[in-house]
Amino acid sequence: MAKILSGKEVVAALNEQLSKRAQALEEKGVAPCLAMVRVGERQDDIAYERGATNRCKRIGISTKNFILPESATQEELIKVIEEVNNDPSIHGCLLFRPLPEHFDDEVVRNALLPAKDVDGITNGSLAGVFAGTDQGYPPCTPAACMEILEHFGIDLNGKKATVIGRSLVVGRPAALMLTSRNATATVCHTRTVDMPSVTREAEVVIVAAGRANLIGKEYFSPGQVVIDVGINFTEEGTLCGDVNFAEAEPIVAAISPVPGGVGTVTTSVLAKHVIEAAEKTLAK
Ligand code: NAD
């Protein structure tokens, strides 16, 4: 039986530590604050906004919501982002994407200052992940994978790690973050030849392909640690990951479940980045 890498456990430990840091900031006169900028009324954005608001509140981070109608212009949205950039009482900003089609995503996301980019969406933040500097913040999802590995004491030093997926939000930054933790990282994608033979060789496998139950037993070998990033729905409407859990679990040493794994940890990582951003203002 594989050990289940429960996101809930990671969240409990993280939140306890973050609450203490938020309190220490308050005592020094800094009230950590997250701005959330949303265009339109997408139900998944609203659900994430609600989850992030509750999590922040419990930790001691206030939130400020900026909601624009779906018909808002790019200039109006950039004006809001500039307001966030210039407001010293706001430490971090979450911009909901994808934006409606009439927005130029590249222009809008890069209007945010990397110093307030707690969700790792700007090119400046991604450059920070690449260069190993603290300019900006890494995207929350691969950072949540690292939190899970760290919480459960999974040593990456010298380990072979394979990431399935090469998106800018998950796969690529995950591979860089593994490398900076001294793992030897390989990235698989849609053009990879004989992917199962690559993943079977790895000691740690992070799966972010975005295909329900795609990764079955032929991809795994005994002793592996598996992090499933996928959030998908089966034809019956059940939430599931990219990994076929029933096939992988009897083989591997440890696996993160879906639901209850990476997705659970993401908003706590967002809160962690806000606290870090607030602490940086204090250091200045
Ligand atoms: P994406 O579609 O942008 O990228 C998927 C990547 O997987 C691509 O690089 C593609 O080359 C690769 N891929 C797709 N099919 C493949 C296949 N058959 N074989 C090999 N590689 C394949 O998706 P994304 O934004 O990176 O998200 C990946 C998954 O993670 C999705 O299920 C998404 O819902 C989930 N996700 C979860 C969270 C979270 O908080 N847990 C956050 C973001 C994304």
Distance CA 196, CA 201 (A): 9
pLDDT at 218 over 80: yes
Domain co-membership, 253 together with 204: yes
Tokens for 79, please give them. 């004006």
Domain that holds residue 219: 140-263
Q: Are residues 109 and 148 in the same domain?
A: no
In a domain, 283, yes or no: no
Residue with tokens 């009897």: 250
Residue listed under structure tokens 């209007």: 111
pLDDT beyond 80 at 61: yes
Residues 170 and 246 in one domain: yes
Q: Give residue 282's pLDDT.
A: 86
Mutate which of 44, 141, 232, 268 for ligand 1? The one with the most ligand atoms within 8 Å of its CB, which is 141
14 found inside a domain: no
Phi and psi dihedrals of 278, rounded to 5? -65, -40
Q: Is the pLDDT of residue 142 over 80?
A: yes
Q: Chain-wide mean pLDDT for the chain?
A: 97
- Asked if residue 227 belongs to a domain, the reply is yes
pLDDT of residue 180: 96
At residue 34, the pLDDT reads 98
Whether the Cβ atoms of residue 230 and residue 210 lie closer than 8 Å to each other: yes
Among protein residues, the one whose CA lies closest to atom 19 of ligand 1: 190
For 153-169, b/e burial (b = at least 16 CB within 10 A) is ebebeebbbbbbbbbeb
Tell me, what's the pLDDT at 231?
96
Could you report the per-residue pLDDT of 20-47, keeping only the tens digit for each? 999 999 999 999 999 999 999 999 999 9
Residue 203 lies in a domain: yes
Helix, strand or coil, per DSSP, at residue 241: coil
In a domain, 20, yes or no: no
Q: How far apart are CA 99 and CA 218, in angstroms?
A: 38
pLDDT reported for residue 107: 98
Residue 66 has what pLDDT? 98
The pLDDT of 82-88, averaged and rounded, is 98
> Residue 79 — very low, low, confident or very high, per pLDDT cuts 50/70/90?
very high
Q: Is 208 in the pocket of ligand 1 (CB under 6 A)?
A: yes
Q: Is residue 10 part of a domain?
A: no
Q: What is the CA radius of gyration of the chain?
A: 19
- Give the whole-angstrom CA distance, residue 30 versus residue 58: 17
Residue 284 has pLDDT above 80, yes or no: no
Give the pLDDT score at 196. 98
Looking at the 3D structure of the chain, how many domains does it have? 2
- The answer on pLDDT for 172 being more than 80 is yes
Ligand 1 contact, 176 CB (< 6 A): no
Please, which residues have CB within 8 angstroms of residue 42's CB and are 6 or more apart in sequence? 96
Same domain, 228 and 181: yes
Query: Does the pLDDT of residue 283 top 90, yes or no?
Result: no
